[in-house]
Amino acid sequence: MDFELTEEQKMVQDMARRFAETEVKPKAAELDATHRHPKEIVEKLAELKMLGIAVPEEYGGGGMDYVSYVLSLIEISKACASTGVIMSVNNSLYCFPVYHYGTEEQKKKYLSPVASGEKLGCYGLTEAGAGSDPAGMRTTAVKDGEGWVLNGEKKFITNGNVASYAVVAAVTDKGKGYKGISSFIVDLANTPGFKVGRVEEKMGILASGTSELVFEDARLPADSLLGVQGEGFKQMLTTLDGGRIGIASQAIGIGRSVLEEAVAYAKTREQFGKTIGSFQAIQWKLADMATELDAAELLTLRAAWLEDHKKPYEKEAAMAKMYASDAAMRAAVEGVQVLGGYGYCREYPMERHMRDAKICQIYEGTNEIMRLVIARNLLKGL
């Protein structure tokens, strides 16, 4: 068993860390306060090939592996969770399915602009009545001549208000249940009948836009169908497995920032004539944070390694996402406690970390669903 990173992985991690510390972290509080999309940061992420890290260079990506993706996403999320999820969705939820299920023509047309970072992508799955249960999906795509007509509304779509392209799930055969769901690549900027709906006001990740995608008789060309008709549900499951590795990485980044700030505060804050870091009650909080975050990172790196080596990783991705997001939330709650009143005030970033951490337990599969996925894998054959 080898825990040593390759030289290339170390280089990517160091590059991401330097960029996060110098370009991202100084702007995080302002981005949170203004809810502003970090356009200038996203452009620099594109220059660093971080928006399509695991996509081959021939399609505009970085040509790296998923372990490198995890390492870099942790660093970016440690500096700004909003920027982290923008990067995660672009890589995991858009680039992954288009690369793995798209034709050569689709990759050149729809993948290269997004993997290179020239444009952003998003993933249209969730609806008001179809979150954890995609069988409740009401968005439909009907064949019309050479193309398709898309109708429906997608909700809670990360990057939805700034994306140029989307992979959208829709029902193409209502009588076939899950087997009647297909995936489509939509050029949002050039699709009549599409509009951005409500942009949500949220608790956290405030610089990351979350919006509705509204399709009203939106006409799609023939080449918009991704893969085989009726296999959208299978594509969705595989795509979300990779996406959960991204969210686990985001959660670890948030948790690392919490731990770093809690340790720094414990070393300097004095009560009863000594620093609070000398009290066992505080030491135990820090010890638990550090242990859980290390365990979360190892789980996440294992899932990424399995993906790199083309081995099954559904269970491992679910474990990583569930454990990392729970660990980040526990760390954030305790981090606020370590800082006391200051942790509850916006003068310190700790309260932002607590707001940002919560969503990691919810999106790309709630942690309740993650436990079902893990159990299903354990009980196969029964």
SS3 of residue 217 by DSSP: strand
pLDDT of residue 184 exceeding 70, the answer is yes
> In this structure, what DSSP letter does residue 348 have?
S
CATH code 2.40.110.10 region(s) in the chain: 121-232
Q: Are residues 218 and 186 in contact, defined by beta-carbon separation less than 8 angstroms? A: yes
CA distance 380 to 11: 40
CATH topology of domain 7-115: Butyryl-Coa Dehydrogenase, subunit A; domain 1 (1.10.540)
85 or 132: which leads in pLDDT: 85
Question: In terms of residues, how long is the chain?
Answer: 382
Q: With b meaning 16 or more CB within 10 Å and e meaning fewer, what string describes 56-67?
A: eeebbbbebbbb
- Concatenated DSSP letters of 153-188: EEEEEETTTT-SEEEEEEES-GGGGGGGEEEEEEEG
- Specify the pTM: 0.95
Q: Are residues 84 and 38 in contact, defined by beta-carbon separation less than 8 angstroms? A: no
CATH code 1.10.540.10 region(s) in the chain: 7-115
Residue-wise pLDDT for 104-140, tens only, equals 999 999 999 999 999 999 999 999 988 788 778 999 9
CA distance 85 to 91: 10
Burial (CB count within 10 angstroms: exposed 0-12, middle 13-18, buried 19+), residue 271: exposed
C-alpha distances in Å from residue 112, one per residue of 60, 133, 187: 5, 32, 13
Beta bridge partners of 141: 150
Place of tokens 């860390």: 17
> In this structure, what DSSP letter does residue 145 have?
T
When the pLDDT of each residue in the chain is averaged and rounded to a whole number, the result is: 96
CATH topology of domain 121-232: Butyryl-CoA Dehydrogenase, subunit A; domain 2 (2.40.110)
Strands 140-144 and 147-158: antiparallel
Burial (CB count within 10 angstroms: exposed 0-12, middle 13-18, buried 19+), residue 378: exposed
Helix (H) or strand (E) holding 226: strand 225-226
Tokens of 90: 């672009």
Q: What is the mean pLDDT of residues 324-331?
A: 98
Check residue 11 and give its pLDDT: 97
pLDDT of residue 15 exceeding 70, the answer is yes
Cβ atoms within 10 Å, residue 229 = 17
Q: Are residues 88 and 74 in contact, defined by beta-carbon separation less than 8 angstroms? A: no
Q: Are residues 380 and 374 in contact, defined by beta-carbon separation less than 8 angstroms? A: no
Q: With b meaning 16 or more CB within 10 Å and e meaning fewer, what string describes 100-116?
A: ebbeeebbebbbbbbbb
Check residue 382 and give its pLDDT: 67
The mean-pLDDT minimum among 1-5, 6-10, 33-37, 42-46 falls in 1-5
CA distance 303 to 242: 9
CATH code 1.20.140.10 region(s) in the chain: 234-378
pLDDT of residue 63 exceeding 70, the answer is yes
Q: Are residues 162 and 213 in contact, defined by beta-carbon separation less than 8 angstroms? A: no
pLDDT of residue 191 exceeding 90, the answer is yes
Per CATH, the homologous superfamily of domain 234-378 is Butyryl-CoA Dehydrogenase, subunit A, domain 3 (1.20.140.10)
Q: What is the mean pLDDT of residues 135-164?
A: 94
Enzyme catalytic residues: 364
Q: Are residues 95 and 123 in contact, defined by beta-carbon separation less than 8 angstroms? A: no
Q: What is the mean pLDDT of residues 232-238?
A: 94
